């Protein structure tokens, strides 16, 4: 089994991990891989993959209905200004 | 005043007038205060809001697991990343309970983001087993089970993704019911794994579970996965179990890590089923171990996506950073707990190029195989029986990893399942009954029959 590239996974999951924490999590992931061995290493079941249980048609009428006000939507924003969420700069 | 009371908006004058003396509420409040060290509550109100609805849950005092949205109450999901978050709307299940005349009492503690089966993984405080403080309460609906057990609420909403209603119900000696997937709207539930999550009920009686299920279930246009099926749980509750074919799954009851006391107590119910007029069979499922793998792969993969929204930007805990990536990374690293990080990283691994086919896709194939196997069993039997949990409540220093081994199949297949407490002298033991999808009333009526029979059993 290849060693786990914990730094790459953490980057993908937007997690800034300390070195010791990353080492511990790497060990935990290895244990989880061992726990999942029966599926990871076993013969694939001769079935099509199931991603969601059968459900009725999800569509509803396309009618306009009341929604959240700006104030309600911003209720929990960590930082806000002029009716908008203040976010870190993303554009150079 | 509890630590969250000050963050809730004050009642208006009109609401103050409308809130009335409520004896049941006063009793629940007294019990909550008497058990304030249980760890079950993250928030509760001391002023019941008057409700007008008339139904089988009128006047019931309901606790809500804190991953389900209740307007004007905190919604933390047991996580620091949502510390201080106030919900601005009611989940559909909560809205329906309010309309039916129930009183929403407070928010109940849980393992962070419903990930865990011990009751020890809330970022705020662990939940203590009411029978023995150095034992696990079970999770992730730990607060829900303990609040019901302590008499702080008439019933509690919980959620079940891999056993999170049934396991704490079994370890705390209360009834825990997981409805069929699609029976109850997930609108307002903070997603852990959307194809597995189910909103359900814990209570001291099967009848109360049935009453609450009737109220909260049904089609919801805000959740496209809900089915337009009326369950009629209360109406069918007294149907009993005569003439039904019940099957004890041998690879659960005879499993080597099931304790002798759980095995013998569960098997002793064979004669109870027979006395009630059921035909008892023994058969094998054969997929429990693989279901553990399926669950961890599928649930973690889905969780890695469902929890991507907690980045400190629109809501929740935000840390500083020089760049937006640093803000994301620091907010999530300091806001999310260890088990959550473990699961989202594992989920990401299962969706990576190296593991996608042999991990995620294989688990999804095996999920269909599990459903096929269960359909085969249900072509012969009406109900499947296992212990809910392999042992009595483990010590808090032990591992909780295999507590859910018998509960995963119901989530993978979307089946209704109930844990009914058996009469014992020592720590609680739960009996699990599973039924066909949307045969929720059949599962509840069988659970009720066992529950009533247990009253007359010598422990």
Rounded to a whole number, what is the distance in Å from the CA of A37 to chain B's nearest CA? 7
Residue position matching structure tokens 């983001």: B113
* Statement: residue B9 has pLDDT above 70: no
* Statement: residue B18 has pLDDT above 80: no
Strand partners, B202: B156, B176
pLDDT > 90: percent of chain B: 86
Q: How far is CA B65 from CA B73, B113, B195, in A?
A: 12, 11, 19
What φ, ψ does residue B191 adopt, rounded to 5°? Answer: -70, 140
* Statement: residue B276 has pLDDT above 70: yes
Rounded to a whole number, what is the distance in Å from the CA of A15 to chain B's nearest CA? 4
pLDDT of residue B456: 73
Q: Compute the count of residue pairs across chains A and B with CB atoms less than 8 Å apart.
A: 168
Interface residue B352 vs chain A (CB under 8 A):
yes
Average pLDDT over residues B120-146: 97
pLDDT > 70: percent of chain A: 96
pLDDT of residue B6: 33
Strand partners, B65: B108
Q: pLDDT tens digits for B189-225?
A: 999 999 999 999 999 999 999 999 999 999 999 999 9
Taking contacts as CB-CB distances below 8 angstroms, the residues of chain B near A49 are 361, 364-365, 367-368
Under the banding of pLDDT at 50, 70 and 90, the label for residue B10 is very low
Select the residue of B86, B313, B346 nearest A87 (Cβ to Cβ). Answer: B313
Rounded to a whole number, what is the distance in Å from the CA of A83 to chain B's nearest CA? 12
pLDDT of residue B11: 43
Q: Which residue of B has its CA nearest to A47?
A: B365
Contact: A49, B365; criterion CB under 8 Å: yes
B179 vs B183: CA distance, rounded Å: 6
Under the banding of pLDDT at 50, 70 and 90, the label for residue B79 is very high
Q: Which of B72, B81, B87, B293 to mutate to test the interface with A (most CBs of A within 10 A)?
A: B293
Average pLDDT over residues B71-75: 96
Select the residue of A50, A59, A60 nearest B368 (Cβ to Cβ). Answer: A50
B283 vs B310: CA distance, rounded Å: 44
The structure's pTM equals 0.94
* Statement: residue B159 has pLDDT above 50: yes
Average pLDDT over residues B255-275: 95
Under the banding of pLDDT at 50, 70 and 90, the label for residue A2 is low
pLDDT of residue B14: 46
Contact: B318, A51; criterion CB under 8 Å: no
* Statement: residue A1 has pLDDT above 90: no
Average pLDDT over residues B171-197: 98
Contact: B315, A77; criterion CB under 8 Å: yes
pLDDT of residue A89: 83
Kindly state the DSSP code that residue B353 receives in the 8-state scheme. Answer: T
Contact: A78, B316; criterion CB under 8 Å: yes
pLDDT, chain B, mean: 93
Average pLDDT over residues B297-325: 94
Residues 404-443 of B with CB under 8 A from A: 413-414, 437
Select the residue of B89, B316, B341 nearest A15 (Cβ to Cβ). Answer: B341
| Contacts of B309 by beta carbon, 8 Å cutoff, 6+ apart | none
Select the residue of A6, A52, A78 nearest B312 (Cβ to Cβ). Answer: A78
Identify whether the C-beta of residue B448 lies closer than 8 Å to the C-beta of residue B242.
no
Taking contacts as CB-CB distances below 8 angstroms, the residues of chain B near A16 are 326, 329-330, 332-333
Under the banding of pLDDT at 50, 70 and 90, the label for residue B277 is very high
pLDDT of residue B407: 98
pLDDT of residue B459: 62
Strands B383-387 vs B245-249: parallel, antiparallel or unpaired: parallel
| Contacts of B422 by beta carbon, 8 Å cutoff, 6+ apart | B265, B266, B269, B428, B429, B430, B431, B454, B457
B218 vs B211: CA distance, rounded Å: 13
* Statement: residue A35 has pLDDT above 80: yes
pLDDT of residue A39: 94
Residue position matching structure tokens 């008057």: B50
* Statement: residue B80 has pLDDT above 70: yes
* Statement: residue B5 has pLDDT above 60: no
pLDDT > 70: percent of chain B: 95
* Statement: residue B319 has pLDDT above 70: yes
Rounded to a whole number, what is the distance in Å from the CA of B427 to chain A's nearest CA? 28
Q: Which of A45, A59, A69 to mutate to test the interface with B (most CBs of B within 10 A)?
A: A45
pLDDT of residue B24: 82
pLDDT of residue B21: 52
Average pLDDT over residues B96-109: 96
Under the banding of pLDDT at 50, 70 and 90, the label for residue B1 is very low
Average pLDDT over residues B36-40: 90
Interface residue B328 vs chain A (CB under 8 A):
yes
Q: How far is CA B453 from CA A37, B148, B243, B269, in A?
A: 42, 21, 16, 10
Average pLDDT over residues B332-345: 97
Strands B417-422 vs B41-44: parallel, antiparallel or unpaired: unpaired
Contact: A29, B346; criterion CB under 8 Å: yes
* Statement: residue B16 has pLDDT above 70: no
């Amino acid at each position: 089994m290849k060693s786990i590239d914990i730094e790459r996974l953490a980057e993908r999951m937007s997690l800034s991990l300390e070195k010791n924490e990353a080492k511990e999590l790497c060990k935990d992931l290895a244990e989880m891989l061992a726990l999942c061995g029966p599926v990871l290493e076993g013969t694939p079941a001769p079935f099509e993959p199931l991603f969601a249980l059968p459900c009725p048609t999800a569509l509803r009428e396309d009618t306009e209905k009341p929604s959240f006000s700006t104030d309600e939507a911003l209720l929990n924003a960590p930082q806000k200004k002029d009716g908008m969420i203040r976010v870190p700069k993303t554009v150079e | 005043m509890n630590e969250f009371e000050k963050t809730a908006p004050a009642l208006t004058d009109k609401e103050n007038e409308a809130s009335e003396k409520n004896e049941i509420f006063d009793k629940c409040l007294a019990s909550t205060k008497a058990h304030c060290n249980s760890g079950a509550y993250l928030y509760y109100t001391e002023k019941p809001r008057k409700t007008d609805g008339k139904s089988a849950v009128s006047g019931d005092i309901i606790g809500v697991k804190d991953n389900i949205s209740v307007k004007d109450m905190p919604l933390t999901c047991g996580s620091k990343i949502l510390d201080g978050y106030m919900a601005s709307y009611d989940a559909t299940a909560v809205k329906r309970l309010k309309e039916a005349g129930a009183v929403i009492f407070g928010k109940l503690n849980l393992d962070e983001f419903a990930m865990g089966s011990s009751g020890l993984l809330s970022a705020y405080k662990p939940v203590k087993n009411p029978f023995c403080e150095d034992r696990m309460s079970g999770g992730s609906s730990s607060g829900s089970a303990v609040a019901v057990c302590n008499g702080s609420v008439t019933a509690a909403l919980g959620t079940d993704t891999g056993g999170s209603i049934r396991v704490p119900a079994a370890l705390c000696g209360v009834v825990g019911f997981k409805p069929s997937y699609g029976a109850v709207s997930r609108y307002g539930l903070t997603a852990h794994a959307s194809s597995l999550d189910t909103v359900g009920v814990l209570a001291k009686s099967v009848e109360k579970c049935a009453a609450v299920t009737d109220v909260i279930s049904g089609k919801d246009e805000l959740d496209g996965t809900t089915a337009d099926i009326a369950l009629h749980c209360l109406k069918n509750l007294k149907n009993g179990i005569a003439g039904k074919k019940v099957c004890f799954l041998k690879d659960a009851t005879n499993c080597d890590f099931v304790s002798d006391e759980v095995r013998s107590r569960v098997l002793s119910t064979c004669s109870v089923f027979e006395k009630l007029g059921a035909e008892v069979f023994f058969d094998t499922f054969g997929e429990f171990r693989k279901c553990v793998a399926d669950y961890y792969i599928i649930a973690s993969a889905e969780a890695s996506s469902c929890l991507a929204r907690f980045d400190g930007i629109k809501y929740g805990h935000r840390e500083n950073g020089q760049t937006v990536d640093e803000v994301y990374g620091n907010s999530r690293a300091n806001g999310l707990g260890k088990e959550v990080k473990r699961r989202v990283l594992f989920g990401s691994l299962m969706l990576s190029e190296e593991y996608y086919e042999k991990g995620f896709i294989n688990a999804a194939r095996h999920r269909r195989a599990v459903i096929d196997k269960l359909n085969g069993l249900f072509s012969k039997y009406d109900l499947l029986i296992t212990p809910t949990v392999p042992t009595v409540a483990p010590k808090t220093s032990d591992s909780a990893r295999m507590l859910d081994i018998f509960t995963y199949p119901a989530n993978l297949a979307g089946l209704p399942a109930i844990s009914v407490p058996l009469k014992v002298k020592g720590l609680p033991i739960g009996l699990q009954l599973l039924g066909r999808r949307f045969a929720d009333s059949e599962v509840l009526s069988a659970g009720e029959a066992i529950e009533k029979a247990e009253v007359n059993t010598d422990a």
